[in-house]
Amino acid sequence: MIELLGFSKKYQTPVVDIPAWTFQRGIYLLKGANGSGKSTLLQSMAGRLSFKGNIMVNGHSLKKTPRICRQLVSYAAGEPMFPGFLTGGELVQFFQKTKGISPWPMGHLLEGFEAPSFLESPIQTYSSGMLKKLALLLAFTGNPDWILLDEPFNGLDNTSVAALEGFVTQLYLQYKVSFIIASHQEHPQLMGSGNELLVLENKQLRSYDPK
Amino acid sequence: MRKLFIGPFYRQNAGTFLFLYVLFLGSFLFINYLGEMPASESFFWHFVLLIFMVTHQFMVVLFICLSAFYLFKTRIFVKSLLGQQSYGMLKESLGTLSGRRQWWCWFKVQLWLSLPLLIYALACLAMAVFYGRPLYGIVIIIFLLTGILTVASLNFYQLNRFPGQHVISLPTFGISWKRLNRTSLSPVLYAIKREPSALIITKVATILFSALMVYWQNEAALAIRQWWLSFLLVSSAHVVVVYKISLFMHLYCKDLEGLPLKPVPQFLFLVGKSFVLLLLPELLVLILTGYGGLGFIGISAEWSLLVFYHYFSAYLDFSLKALLKSGFLILCVAFVLVLYGLFAVVVVGYLVIAWFVFRRRYYCLP
């Protein structure tokens, strides 16, 4: 469970202001116009940005125990950046060494992403789609309870999108991993029972029923 | 971690290492040219350097100063990398390890980054023991280990702190900070809060050096010129801290420009008290060991140099490279003058230059 308590974030002007919100186990699709604060919200929940108020992850305060919260929450950035001189494979190995081996098999996702073809090349030679795939692979390492994906489908080809949707559903159903996914697209495959569509507008978060 | 930090560091600084190597080699070749030492392979020159280092106090001091500068350089390097977006992934990977494992990781990285220093320091220790002067070797090793532990801890805290929180909270020591006039102390408070790495490394080096001076004085009375030179060295070791303070004042205290103060209070405004506080530990070392008189002469001279570096930084548009290079050249001139017994001229000279630099450009100008 992730709780937002008096959460607010402002740059020059306030961007997000959520008095209270609770994310129970599930898959959440987060929608909102450009600049509505989706990435800011996800980055704050991942402990990458400072903010006012507090965020509790499974009862642990993100501000007081950021290390424990980072173990519970994985994050894939919308526009990922990595040191260009490393290869993707080295980075995946580094993440597996530090975060631990995942209980779920990654083979299908690796195949769906056609990752073996590019993982051994230096990251500086990657296209934006490859970078996105690498960021997603890294977010799936370890054994987190929550995975936050910022615009994960942008720049992916259709095969990869299908592989990612299938993998997210599998992790949710078999391994009880919850997701918050910021995306502009519709994803009917992800919108099964217990999943929720959220909209971030006017600095506030609210549930959205497309019907 | 080796590929992320160590490789880039050595690649980036290969030129500096080559320069230092050639400098050391060249200096000994020059000595050889004068006919005082026999020629041999490059290994020989290092061997000579080590012997010189453990048998002459000046080399110990030089080594400590260079080590402090080197450690500071490694800290700045890691700090800048951790600030880059592409290294943000370390929070999600390394940042999930337990505190102890993470710290150990940073310690190993710092050991690798300090490898050239460590090899020299260990060789120095071996030579010092061999020559029956273990103190110099031990001092070098203690300083180096303290520096490595400090830098490793700072890197660890930087990665683990929550964004927007300070690395180290200000110690209160039971003092009510609200009662103090924080504005007049803002430079020193800034150094404690925001530049702990530079401050700790500088202060450890200078306090250790002051203690060494006392030890040498007790062992065999030093010439007064050696004390004067040591005061210049102590103040010069503060150059990076003072530069940071000066930059902070320039960026965040712009509102203080144009205050209706007379020239002299303007000149001493903010920095006067702060620099005295900054130099207080060295003064205390000398007072507590019975050299209070020398301590007060020392703090006055060091204070003058700090004021000079403060205003000179602004004059050079806060270019650290320019400050270090020109500061070094001026220091060389000062050294020569002190060797001719003109210590007072040097101190007053620094203050006069600081005054002219201040009149040209700084705060509170009408």
pLDDT digits (tens, 9 = 90+) for A182-192: 887 777 676 66
Q: Report the C-alpha gap between B8 and A85 in whole angstroms.
A: 10
Q: Report the C-alpha gap between A198 and A63 in whole angstroms.
A: 25
**Cβ-based neighbours of A37, under 8 Å, separated by 6 or more:** A9, A15, A16, A200, A203
DSSP secondary structure, B282-332, as one string: HHHHHHHTT-HHHHHHHHHHHHHHHHHHHHHHHHTTT-HHHHHHHHHHHHH
Identify from A70, A90, A96 which residue to disrupt to test chain B contact, counting B C-beta atoms within 10 A and taking the largest count: A70
Residue B100 contacts A, CB cutoff 8 Å = no
Which of helix, strand or coil describes residue A144?
Answer: coil
Higher pLDDT, B63 or B173: B63
- State the pLDDT at residue B51: 66
Strands A52-57 and A196-201: unpaired
Read off the tokens for B54. 């453990």
Do residues A112 and A167 touch, judged by C-beta distance below 8 A? Answer: yes
**Cβ-based neighbours of A137, under 8 Å, separated by 6 or more:** A88, A92, A106, A109, A110, A113, A115
Which of helix, strand or coil describes residue A197?
Answer: strand
- pLDDT class for B47, splitting at 50, 70, 90? low
Does B187 have pLDDT greater than 70? yes
Give the chain A residue whose CA is nearest to the CA of B97.
A98
- State the pLDDT at residue B362: 60
CB-CB under 8 Å, B97 with A86 = no
Q: Report the C-alpha gap between B203 and B207 in whole angstroms.
A: 6
- State the pLDDT at residue B54: 65
The neighbour count for residue B35, using CB atoms within 10 Å, is 7
Residue B255 contacts A, CB cutoff 8 Å = no
Order of strands across the sheet that contains A60-61: A14-23, A2-10, A52-57, A60-61
Most confident of B12-26, B128-142, B180-194: B128-142
- State the pLDDT at residue A155: 80
> Which residues of chain B neighbour A70 with C-beta distances below 8 Å?
91-92, 95-96
Higher pLDDT, B346 or B222: B346
- pLDDT class for B169, splitting at 50, 70, 90? very low
- State the pLDDT at residue B168: 43
Out of A70, A81, A94, whose CB is closest to B95? A70
Residue B85 contacts A, CB cutoff 8 Å = yes
Q: How far is B241 from chain A (nearest CA, A)?
A: 27
Q: How far is A6 from chain B (nearest CA, A)?
A: 17
Q: Report the C-alpha gap between A73 and A79 in whole angstroms.
A: 18
Which of helix, strand or coil describes residue A24?
Answer: coil
CB-CB under 8 Å, B86 with A84 = yes
- pLDDT class for B28, splitting at 50, 70, 90? low
Does B172 have pLDDT greater than 50? no
Identify from B5, B12, B82, B89 which residue to disrupt to test chain A contact, counting A C-beta atoms within 10 A and taking the largest count: B89
- State the pLDDT at residue B173: 45
CB-CB under 8 Å, A81 with B95 = no
CB-CB under 8 Å, B96 with A83 = no
Q: Report the C-alpha gap between B298 and A22 in whole angstroms.
A: 62
**Cβ-based neighbours of A120, under 8 Å, separated by 6 or more:** A87, A88, A89
- pLDDT class for B79, splitting at 50, 70, 90? confident
CB-CB under 8 Å, B95 with A83 = no
What ipTM was predicted for this assembly?
0.80
CB-CB under 8 Å, B89 with A82 = yes
Q: Which residue(s) pair with A20 in the sheet?
A: A5
Does B27 have pLDDT greater than 80? no
Give chain A's contact residues with B (Cβ, < 8 Å).
46-50, 62-63, 66-67, 70-71, 74-75, 77, 81-86, 90-91, 94-95, 98-99, 138-139, 142
Does B182 have pLDDT greater than 90? no
Out of B4, B91, B94, whose CB is closest to A47? B91
Residue B165 contacts A, CB cutoff 8 Å = yes
Give the chain A residue whose CA is nearest to the CA of B165.
A50
Please give the average per-residue pLDDT across B28-32, as a whole number. 54
Share of chain B above pLDDT 90, in %: 5
Does B53 have pLDDT greater than 70? no
Q: Which residue(s) pair with A16 in the sheet?
A: A9
> Which residues of chain A neighbour B92 with C-beta distances below 8 Å?
46, 70, 74-75, 95, 99, 138-139
- State the pLDDT at residue B181: 52
> Which residues of chain A neighbour B91 with C-beta distances below 8 Å?
47-48, 70
CB-CB under 8 Å, B162 with A62 = yes
The phi and psi torsions of A49 (rounded to 5 degrees) equal -125, 150
CA angle B59, B63, B67 (to 5 degrees): 175
CB-CB under 8 Å, A82 with B93 = no
Please give the average per-residue pLDDT across B193-202, as a whole number. 82
Out of B3, B85, B99, whose CB is closest to A86? B3
CA B128 to chain centre: 25
- pLDDT class for A43, splitting at 50, 70, 90? confident
Q: Report the C-alpha gap between A59 and A7 in whole angstroms.
A: 16
Question: Please, what is the end-to-end C-alpha distance for chain A in angstroms?
Answer: 27
- pLDDT class for B154, splitting at 50, 70, 90? confident
Does B17 have pLDDT greater than 80? no
Read off the tokens for A52. 């006012």
- pLDDT class for B191, splitting at 50, 70, 90? confident
Residue B164 contacts A, CB cutoff 8 Å = yes
**Cβ-based neighbours of A36, under 8 Å, separated by 6 or more:** A200, A201
> Which residues of chain B neighbour A72 with C-beta distances below 8 Å?
none
Higher pLDDT, A143 or B50: A143
Q: Which of residues 174-203 of B touch A (CB under 8 A)?
A: none
Does B148 have pLDDT greater than 80? yes
The phi and psi torsions of A74 (rounded to 5 degrees) equal -105, 155
- State the pLDDT at residue B107: 92
Among A39-53, B211-225, B309-323, which stretch is predicted with the lowest mean pLDDT? B211-225
Most confident of B50-59, B81-90, B340-349: B340-349
Q: How far is A209 from chain B (nearest CA, A)?
A: 33
- State the pLDDT at residue B52: 64
Q: Each residue of B111-123: pLDDT tens digit?
A: 998 888 888 788 8
Please give the average per-residue pLDDT across B137-155, as a whole number. 87
- State the pLDDT at residue A129: 85
Do residues A23 and A180 touch, judged by C-beta distance below 8 A? Answer: yes
Out of A67, A90, A139, whose CB is closest to B3? A90
User: Mean pLDDT over all residues of chain B?
Assistant: 78
- pLDDT class for A159, splitting at 50, 70, 90? confident
CB-CB under 8 Å, B93 with A99 = yes
